[in-house]
Amino acid sequence: MVGTILAGGKSRRFGRNKSMERFQGERLIERQVRTLRSLFPEVMIVTNRPELYLDLDVTIVQDIIPGMGPLGGIYTGLLFAQGGSIFVTAVDMPFIQPAVIRRMLEVFPGHDVVIPRLGDYLEPLHGMYSPRCLTSVKRMLDREELQVVRFFPSVKAAYLDEEEIRRLDPEGLSFFNINTPGDMAQAMEILGSQRE
């Protein structure tokens, strides 16, 4: 399985490229690479700006179908994984928890998708996808239907439920993402409380 970071967003609400923001002494992109490298033999960045990440020792690929959001990133990641499966996360989720990801790896065999589910809410940008998803994803892209979860009924999906997630990640930080400068300030507060 390839650890895959989606770094193709335009960061409109943040005002500048989030992946380059300093966070606990490193860029957000470096933090994600370091975390995924501890879990997966290969790490890949899917981006529209590959030149930004040339200093990182990872596979860097450009969106095959630009402008298709996370679904296009998942499609690109699966194609470049060359028949392998991928774990997908966004560059702006600084607190992904290895324990949750390891549990997803245990659930994944025999499935095409493994996704956390919190109540009725699914977390597709903290998900595992097999190459068997490619046909369904491409069909959606061709129709410009970009909501990731819409293709799940057409594949064999498994869900990591809230009770299990809370056991592994009691504070629920895995899915915290940074969209605005206010979110970044909140993330810094979380870091401060963790140190205490």
- The ranges assigned to domains in the chain are 2-195
DSSP 191: H
Whether residue 150 contacts residue 113, with contact meaning beta carbons closer than 8 Å, is answered with no
Please give the Cα distance from 20 to 54 (Å, whole number): 13
Which pTM value belongs to this model? 0.93
Q: Tell me which DSSP letter residue 54 carries.
A: T
Quick one: pLDDT at residue 5?
97
Residue 159: count of CB within 10 angstroms of its CB: 16
H-run or E-run covering 166: helix 162-168
Kindly state the tokens that stand for 78. 């699966």
Strands 126-129 and 157-161: unpaired
Three-state SS for 102? helix
CATH code given to domain 2-195? 3.90.550.10
pLDDT digits (tens, 9 = 90+) for 127-172: 999 999 999 999 999 999 999 999 999 999 999 999 999 999 998 8
